[in-house]
Structure 1
Amino acid sequence: MVERVTNAQAPSNWNLPNVLTSLRILFIPVFAWLVLSQRWWWAFGLFVALMITDKLDGDIARARGLVTDFGKIADPIADKALMITALVTLNIASTLPVWVTVVIVIRELGITVWRFAMLRRGQVVPASKGGKLKTALQTLAVGLYLCPLPGWMDTPTYVVMLVAAAVTVVTGVQYLIDARKVNQ
């Protein structure tokens, strides 16, 4: 679904949801350092905290009417930056196959560029239910890779990541199909 942007009275960009989004962006390098130095529990804890701020900022913004243009742009950038950082650092510091990262990154960046193009046309593309499922699966998969789990969990962890990658591709294609239907 594609929404038209309106210029109604907009809330200030200086609000709690935008501060949470900004903090998420600022802590990504710390997260990367923790993963690369294989401080797995600390990396996992910070990842969980950053993902909680992702949920909180959106919930607070919608509940309190604090949705801003900055938030609409910065929140997805923060999400993509965190997930891409997680995947790339896991390629370097763990057993995550590079091809998984390549597939997910191409989809994520491709849809982000497409969303910005739609935004320039005055259309905001909100996250779909499939997109939310994709985020949940990616989060679970990355969380499993970050946890120092026993060896017997390697296969289930990999399977969760494969499912996350598949849903990532399918939802990316679905966004484009839905947009095409709306614009016809």
Structure 2
Amino acid sequence: MTLPNKLTLSRIVAIPIMVIILVIEPFQSIDTVFSLNLAQLLFAILFVIASFTDFLDGYLARKNNQVTTFGKFTDPIADKLLVITAFLYLQTEQRVFWWMTLIVVAREFIVTGIRLLAVEKGKVIAASKFGKIKMVSTVIALVFLLFNDFGLTHWIGDILLWIALAATVLSGVEYFYKNKHLVFESI
């Protein structure tokens, strides 16, 4: 197994660890920086590390000519799981509205469905540039929100969140439009 694929899998493994950290009661009572308790801080730090592995695995795969079908398929799934986990957590903290999470989840299911149709036809669809912009803008917004806007006013995180949501919708529309033939062929 290549290092980029190991990094992708590490992102998937990090998710249950992030969730478990949130429910460890002693961590919830220890105050840290940015008005976060230890559980929230560790969750946010692990999110940043896991998000960085997304950049790193793609960079290493391209640099070392280790782009694999497994990586093309698994990397976006790891990204989706990581982002959805952060959105669900922020929803419980009342930092994002339920419908924002729904938009993100719906887009991810639609894109995954199209990817599965492509696999059925022997094709693998790599992430588009606009999909990568969506991921970067989403991660930046989530980092601001997870770290409680770095102690700044909440409007910065909110603006970044709206930009990420717009990129999510637009990239989903682009993804559907570019691959609509796969959808319509299967109806």
TM over 0.5: yes
Contact 1:40 1:148 in 2 (8 A): no
Distance 1:40 1:132 in 2: 26
With the length of structure 1 as denominator, give the TM-score of the two structures. 0.84
Extract unaligned runs of 5+ from structure 2. Answer: 29-36
Return the match for 2:9 from 5, 22, 31: 22
In structure 1, the residue matched to 2:48 is 48
In structure 2, the residue matched to 1:167 is 167
TM-aligned CA distance change 1:101 to 1:119, over 3 Å? same
CA deviations over 1:91-150 (Å, ceiling 9, x no partner): 113421111000111001111111121122122222122111100111011101110346
Residues 1-184 of structure 1: pairs in structure 2 closer than 5 A: 14-35=1-22, 37=28, 39-149=39-149, 153-180=153-180
CA deviations over 1:51-105 (Å, ceiling 9, x no partner): 1111111111122122222212211111111111110111113421111000111
Q: Tell me which of the two structures has the higher relative contact order, counting C-alpha pairs closer than 8 angstroms and 6 or more residues apart.
A: 1
Structure 1 residues 91-100 or 77-86, which shifts more?
A: 91-100
TM-aligned CA distance change 1:151 to 1:126, over 3 Å? same
The count of aligned residue pairs is 171
Q: What SS does the aligned partner of 1:123 have?
A: coil
Contact 1:21 1:71 in 2 (8 A): yes
Contact 1:17 1:60 in 2 (8 A): yes
The code of the aligned residue for 1:25 comes to I
With the length of structure 2 as denominator, give the TM-score of the two structures. 0.82
Shift of 1:18: 1.1
Shift of 1:179: 2.3
Aligned-residue RMSD, C-alpha: 2.2
Distance 1:60 1:66 in 2: 7
% identical equivalent positions: 35
TM-aligned CA distance change 1:16 to 1:151, over 3 Å? closer
